[in-house]
Amino acid sequence: MNVMETQDLGKRYRRDWVLRECNLQVPAGHLSALVGPNGAGKTTLMQLAVGLTLPTSGGVTVLGGQPAGSPAALNGIAFVAQDAPVYKNLSATDMIHLTRNLNRGFDHRYATSRLGELGIAPGKKSGKLSGGQRAQLALTLALARRPQLLILDEPLAMLDPLARQDFMATVMTAMADDGVSVLLSSHALAELERVADYLVLMSGGRLQVAGEVDDLLACHRVLTGPAAEADRFAGPLRIVQTRRAGAQAHLLVKMSGPDDPVPPGWEAHPVSLEELVLAYLRSPGTETPPGLSLARPPLTRPAEPSAVTR
């Protein structure tokens, strides 16, 4: 099942397209990280999936084909907007009461026991809680609805390192206990490496790359070798980023598979998630057709270097 699926999805505010030709399938059971610079269209994509805004073109379905914003979709999705919004004058108990009455399903026992574990005083006004506690309160309210899909918009941005870790621990535990799928947008690349197992990379309103993190890491390599030969690869291999000096060049390339032969005289190094993301966001010419994914037929192998036997 796909927890989110878009077809030629686009959104325009007046003259500006903030999201264009987005074709994306996010499978269930993952923590998917939505990554991109400011203005990439992340928040717009999330709001479209939740049903808070309507598409200008194309369509989006969630939870295996439910139209975004339909009653079934609303029941199965929990969304925490940026900066963990809670009513500042209401206490945690009040927020639980409110959320319980505004939603069809609500696990009251989970909510109260979780707040107890977190040490959040039930009577204290939300505005008086620390940033980390406020974020945890919003997350607890969202999880108590027992969603199939949890959508978090920049949940870590305002939190200190300890609060970030506690917050993600709560999210990961919900994944392990209930099989919740998670879609999370973030700038904090380093923290995503351990938690995200699916990556959706956006920039300038367009989808750049989408795929399982392990697959993406397996098919990207940094090739280091003589600068003079660097241009030979331009055709057969997809070069994401080139860094070259007089003699030596580093190419971040997308290979057709993990077992692709390395050209003679070149050394291949694995890439980290952070390196991969930055390379895609930095290099200008990577406006790939929307929907680029690993399911595409592999690029033709380099003619000469494939003579390497293994």
Partner 1 sequence: MTIDKGNSPAGGAVPGAGEAAPPAGTGSPIEFRLDPASGVPTYLQLVQQVEHALRLGYLKPGDQLPKVRDVVTSLTINPNTVLKAYRELEHKGLAGGRPGQGTFIEATLSQIALPELTTLRRTLLTWLASADAAGLDEDGIVALVTSALRDFFDRRDGSADRRGTDTEGVA
User: What residues make contact with partner 1 under the rule CB under 8 A?
Assistant: 27-31, 107, 109-110, 113-114, 117, 165, 168-169, 172-173, 175-179, 194-197, 214, 217, 259, 270, 272, 310
**Considering just the CA atoms, what is the radius of gyration of the chain in Å?**
22
Nearer to partner 1, 48 or 63 (CB): 63
Q: How far is CA 53 from CA 35, 48, 59, in A?
A: 20, 5, 12
The nearest distance, CB 13 to partner 1, in angstroms, is: 34
The nearest distance, CB 1 to partner 1, in angstroms, is: 10
Nearer to partner 1, 4 or 48 (CB): 4
Alpha-carbon gap, residue 210 to 51, rounded angstroms: 22
If 0-12 CB within 10 Å is exposed, 13-18 middle and 19+ buried, where does residue 76 land?
A: buried
Nearest to 31 by CA among 218, 167, 221: 167
Alpha-carbon gap, residue 242 to 131, rounded angstroms: 41
The nearest distance, CB 109 to partner 1, in angstroms, is: 6
The nearest distance, CB 23 to partner 1, in angstroms, is: 22
Pairing outcome for strands 181-185 and 31-35: parallel
The nearest distance, CB 195 to partner 1, in angstroms, is: 5
Nearer to partner 1, 176 or 247 (CB): 176
Nearer to partner 1, 18 or 141 (CB): 141
Say if residues 93 and 125 touch (Cβ distance below 8 Å). Answer: no
The nearest distance, CB 272 to partner 1, in angstroms, is: 7
Say if residues 187 and 42 touch (Cβ distance below 8 Å). Answer: no
Instruction: Give me the torsion for CA of 111, 29, 197, 233, rounded to 10°.
Output: -150
Nearer to partner 1, 60 or 180 (CB): 180
Nearer to partner 1, 52 or 218 (CB): 218
Locus of tokens 């399938």: 25
CA end-to-end span of the chain: 38
Alpha-carbon gap, residue 4 to 214, rounded angstroms: 20
The nearest distance, CB 85 to partner 1, in angstroms, is: 24
Pairing outcome for strands 206-212 and 198-203: antiparallel
Nearer to partner 1, 83 or 107 (CB): 107
Sheet harboring 149-153: ordered strands across?
Answer: 77-80, 149-153, 181-185, 31-35, 198-203, 206-212
Nearest to 135 by CA among 120, 155, 165, 113: 155
Nearer to partner 1, 19 or 150 (CB): 150
Alpha-carbon gap, residue 245 to 236, rounded angstroms: 22
The nearest distance, CB 55 to partner 1, in angstroms, is: 28
